[in-house]
Amino acid sequence: MNPTFINRRTFLNQATVGIGSTALSSMLAGNAMANPQAWPANLPPHAKLSGNPKAKRVIFLCMAGGPSHLETFDYKPKLKEMDGKPMPESITKGQPVAQLQGKQLKCFAPQLEFKKWGKSGQYFSSAFPKIGGIADDICIVRSMTTEQINHDPAHTYMNTGTQISGRPSMGSWVLYGLGAETNNLPGFVVLTSVGGGQNQPIASRQWHSGFLPSKYQGVHFHSKGDPVLYLSNPNGVTNKDQRSVIDSVNQLNRIGNLTLRDPEISTKISQYEMAFRMQASVPDLMDVSNEPKHVLDMYGAKPGDGSFASNCLLARRLAERDVRFIHLYHRGWDHHGGVKNNVQKTANLVDQGSAALVQDLKQRGMLDDTLVVWGGEFGRTPMAQGNGRDHHIKGFSIWMAGGGIKGGISYGNTDELGYNAEENVVHVRDFHATMLHQLGIQSQFFTHKHQGLDFRLTGVDEEAHIIKGILS
């Protein structure tokens, strides 16, 4: 029997998992390129959706290292007054500190100028002139709190809702909950950039799917070498050669499956098709040279430079291609020393890209259904660490835009020294609940059973609250 003429009915009967009939027919006809499929094959939604989703996707701009809220989005004149004076013990007693353990705690004035931006008059650092230009689109939350004071567990907490390793990150949860809509790209993509301060390590656990199946894992796109690991053909192998090998592999698998009737084999066949398509689609995605010059200029991106600005542009391209969760990390915000110069320096690296992304999405009509989040794993102490600031978890700032979030407002406040979030306190789990809510997912019912427990992104113990005050 010639394998290319395998009985079509037999075939469709075996194809019980992850393969549509049209795709199969085209594969049988030897024309696998004709019909792209979901990546990875067939990701159904697992969350019960509420009536009114606002956002379809999330772009999270993670400012890794912990930006100082006091030099960026939370102005504290009182701290200026108290500069050099001891921090009131009533505030700091018994509180966790990181590198300031056992040191004298003194107030440290805000090191950068603040000003009013936009029609809304949002008040934030002059280090962000471009973000100033989108002040009316963003909602600043000044009352964030988290529970982990060191980088690694704090990222883990922000991403998974717990500091215990091995739980799914929010990108995986969202992909698991909503399923994938992309044709030939992963549904959860991670991009990274550096600069502006010491580069804290970022572990791949931050985009791991934990106890969810591996297909919900974030896929890290690299700006150097293969954009996706093992994406390039071996030396001396052209796309045509690769195609021949894949065709042969799939034919052999099909022949075997006539007797084995194993759904895993059917899936395997479709995954080889997918892999081959990715070899074309990913480089195409990463190649921004066909973007018009004014767009490149708007972001301040130079093709292939691996900068945060370039990653912002890629984020837009990924969003256009219906990737569900796009997570950018900029590793440069850990400013234990020289907070003045270093915040300014790092701000220079992220300001334009962040603002351009929001503007670009807006002008393409995509901001309405894209939730953009900007923030780090924690903030920094009002107390000095030399001329820098230590890690701080009791109050810090993030901002959001699009996806049904009100623009031009600020929400919540820290105390007059910027230490404790005091008014409208937003815990990380509240942020998670709000993000899921905007995506149409009710967080308390969005669970996955593992080791005998119903796990949630928002945790199993404490109640998470949607931040109603920021919804449009």
Restricted to residues 307-346, the positions that interact with other proteins (CB under 8 A) are 331
Coil, strand, or helix at residue 440?
coil
Q: Is 201 in the site for other proteins (CB under 8 A)?
A: yes
Subset of 385-404 contacting other proteins (CB under 8 A): 390-391
The whole-angstrom separation of Cα 11 and Cα 34 is 19
The whole-angstrom separation of Cα 209 and Cα 163 is 15
Among 232, 344, 420, 424, binds other proteins (CB under 8 A): 232
| φ, ψ dihedrals at 462, nearest 5° | -100, 155
Least separation in angstroms between CB 196 and other proteins? 14
Subset of 442-461 contacting other proteins (CB under 8 A): 442, 444-445, 449, 451-453, 461
Among 86, 88, 213, 303, binds other proteins (CB under 8 A): 213
The amino acid sitting at 471 is: L
The whole-angstrom separation of Cα 241 and Cα 237 is 6
Interacting span for other proteins (CB under 8 A) from 107-115, 268-276, 339-347, 358-366: 268-276
The whole-angstrom separation of Cα 71 and Cα 84 is 17
Subset of 25-54 contacting other proteins (CB under 8 A): 39-40
The whole-angstrom separation of Cα 317 and Cα 323 is 9
Give the contacts of 248 (CB within 8 A, at least 6 positions apart): none
Q: Which is nearer to other proteins, 50 or 126 (CB)?
A: 50
Among 25, 26, 35, 198, binds other proteins (CB under 8 A): 198
Interacting span for other proteins (CB under 8 A) from 84-92, 132-140, 253-261, 285-293: 253-261
Interacting span for other proteins (CB under 8 A) from 20-28, 113-121, 240-248, 399-407: 240-248
The whole-angstrom separation of Cα 300 and Cα 129 is 14
Cβ neighbours, 10 Å, residue 83:
12
Interacting span for other proteins (CB under 8 A) from 28-36, 131-139, 151-159, 310-318: 151-159
Subset of 164-193 contacting other proteins (CB under 8 A): 164-166, 192
The whole-angstrom separation of Cα 325 and Cα 355 is 19
Among 44, 51, 84, 94, binds other proteins (CB under 8 A): 94
Q: Which residue has the tokens 């499929």?
A: 37
Among 44, 51, 236, 365, binds other proteins (CB under 8 A): 236
